[in-house]
A and B are shown apart, each in its own frame.
Chain A
Amino acid sequence: KAGVTQTPRYLIKTRGQQVTLSCSPISGHRSVSWYQQTPGQGLQFLFEYFSETQRNKGNFPGRFSGRQFSNSRSEMNVSTLELGDSALYLCASKMAPSTEAFFGQGTRLTVV
């Protein structure tokens, strides 16, 4: 059974640009969550989608958005990139709310 797949693995963008990250969950998992990991703030929750609906959102500015498709694949978009957006972005999928969350390898975003 394939795990959670995130693409691309690495990205370098310049300030002001926008970026889209992709996440394919484990087959059968309908919940997809996104997390940002930085050395200073650690792992922080961005948002969670279930059946194409955003159910929960973390404390991030509106520049961070996402969506989920009917096949449960999810994308995350960051507009008007800032240097502070440089981070490892992790996607996790779950079968149901209170079950194990399985993470992808992450996308390393560097903003220059």
Chain B
Amino acid sequence: SQQGEEDPQALSIQEGENATMNCSYKTSINNLQWYRQNSGRGLVHLILIRSNEREKHSGRLRVTLDTSKKSSSLLITASRAADTASYFCATGEIQGAQKLVFGQGTRLTINP
């Protein structure tokens, strides 16, 4: 079963705009990771944020984590056509840190 929900399920924006995706989860976590997947291929690791961190940046990516609300957001700034993909959040649970529990993902489409 999935850990939580990702919102929205699909997002379509114009190139150059910012894209924001949200993720909610249910249990206490050790960390939260975001991944990108292109057309049913492998998952590309984007960023990891630990439970004691509130915000993290990597290039055009900004991730926030609110453990009190059990939610995270991924912001992609100045989007490009190559950012078109599905984006997943995955939580590493405290009790089961060895496995990742994934959301259903957000399908992002960047229109040129």
- Taking Cβ atoms with an 8 Å cutoff, the residues of A that contact B are 4, 6, 31, 33, 35, 37, 42-45, 48, 50, 55-56, 58, 88, 90, 92, 97-106, 108
Contact = CB atoms under 8 A, between A and B. Distances in A.
Interface of B: 2, 30-31, 33, 35, 40-45, 48, 50, 88, 90, 92, 96-105
Nearest to B105: A42
B41 A106 contact: yes
A55 B35 CA distance: 24
Contacts of A97: 92, 97-98
B48 to A, nearest CB: 5
Given A42-B2, A103-B35, A106-B41, A98 B97 contact: yes
Contacts of B44: 103
14 contacts: A6-B42, A33-B98, A43-B88, A43-B102, A44-B102, A45-B100, A50-B98, A56-B98, A90-B43, A98-B50, A100-B45, A101-B90, A102-B45, A103-B45
